[in-house]
Amino acid sequence: MHLKQKKLNLNKTDDDIKLLLLYEINNHILLDKQPSTFLNSIVNTKIFKEYPFYMLYKLKETEQSPIHHPEGNAWNHTMLVVDEAAKQKNKSRDERAFMWAALLHDIGKAETTKNKKGKITAYNHESVGADLCVKFLQEFTTDDKFIQKVKGLVRWHMQILHVVKDMPFADIKSMKEETDIKEVALLGFCDRMGRTNVDILKEKNNIKIFLDKCLFDI
């Protein structure tokens, strides 16, 4: 659904304004070449600190490992991922679900990130995030098929790492039952590209390894 551009008072927090903003976000992530421009323009507004937007706002305060994420906090990372996803979305079988998954893929990090003696982790953020994205999306749509597609991509986006490195968290069978592995691969590529020290050839090869392992797993 595409709404005409209109001036929104983002310092108000009533339900009508929230719904309009959700549709505006939907339009921008689907139509903009660089959705981060719009998203960064609204992240510090009053309404973005209200439910459900605060789930995303909290990513600004969520630190990440400087080794793996030199781009900084989880919001910075998410903006890079969304912009990369905008470049890649024409390869997706469902651009709307794909772009929302890109925006919400790390929404669970705010609740799961821990810093223990300088080691920053966000274990299980994909599972926590899958549940949170359902709550977020239910604020503006009752399309359960769409919501479940986004949930599946968020839930399994870390499988690129787990499968490629043969980690105990790899679960190809369950992933195949719940989502489309090619969509996971596409989102996973955008996720890996959403950082400032990326090796593009290495990441493309990792996606190939992931798909090969998934396709040969019976």
- Per-residue pLDDT tens for 54-64? 999 999 998 86
In a domain, 86, yes or no: yes
- The SS3 of residue 92 is coil
Q: Predicted confidence band at 148 (pLDDT cuts at 50, 70, 90)?
A: very high
In a domain, 116, yes or no: yes
In a domain, 113, yes or no: yes
Which amino acid is residue 66, in one-letter code? P
In a domain, 124, yes or no: yes
Residue whose C-alpha is closest to residue 176's, from 209, 137, 216: 216
Report how far apart, in Å, the C-alpha atoms of 98 and of each of 82, 85, 90, 157, 207 are.
10, 8, 10, 11, 17
Averaged pLDDT for residues 20-37? 96
Strand ranges inside the chain, DSSP E: 114-116, 119-121
Q: Which residues contact 75 (CB under 8 A, 6 or more apart)?
A: 43, 56, 57, 59, 60, 62
Q: Predicted confidence band at 98 (pLDDT cuts at 50, 70, 90)?
A: very high
Can you give the residue range of the structural domain that contains 152? 15-156
In a domain, 197, yes or no: no
Q: From CA 203, how far away is CA 58, in angstroms rounded?
A: 28
pLDDT of residue 1: 42
Averaged pLDDT for residues 62-91? 88
**195 has pLDDT over 90:** no
Q: Predicted confidence band at 214 (pLDDT cuts at 50, 70, 90)?
A: very high
pLDDT of residue 123: 85
**38 has pLDDT over 90:** yes
**177 has pLDDT over 90:** yes
Averaged pLDDT for residues 133-141? 95
In a domain, 88, yes or no: yes
Query: Looking at the 3D structure of the chain, how many domains does it have?
Result: 1
**65 has pLDDT over 90:** no
